[in-house]
Structure 1
Amino acid sequence: MSESIAQASHIVVNVANLLATVYGMRALGINGQMAKGEDGCDYSPLFSLGDPGETLYEAATYLQAAGRNVAKAYRPTRK
């Protein structure tokens, strides 16, 4: 039970980081597939930024997996 809850927690943290990173990069005006440096070339330390719709779909998929882990941990019991 605790392993499923820990996995769900780990997934939710990763999704929150993913969405916060995408939001922050968009807020800074990084709108392309790859961030650009001062010289206009790709700035390799930053990861490639995917389509926002794909990112949301990916986040929803991960959250669905987290929900399955929580459901696995909390099975209804009979008294």
Structure 2
Amino acid sequence: MHDMFQSAGLVAYWRPVDGVRHGLSPVELPYPGQERETLCGTTVIVVKTTAIDWLSPTCAACWDEARDRRDAAAREAGAQ
């Protein structure tokens, strides 16, 4: 398979909290009741979600950070 189709790896877990989908560090799988810091620096309590919760808008700051992490991982993988 061509390298351009290979994933640079997981950069975030996404979870809806208080009406916004935030990105969380992929180091540990998030679970309900857990306090986590989002990619935008907000501290949230992960909640059990419904299908409707996933329709919430994405936090722009988390999206930007996730994209930056993805691009950095791709650059690093390309340098090897």
The alignment's TM-score, normalised by the length of structure 2, stands at 0.34
Report the structure, 1 or 2, having the larger strand content: 2
Q: Greater relative contact order: 1 or 2 (C-alpha under 8 angstroms, separation 6 or more)? A: 1
Report the structure, 1 or 2, having the larger helix content: 1
Give the greater-gyration-radius structure (CA): 1
The alignment's TM-score, normalised by the length of structure 1, stands at 0.34
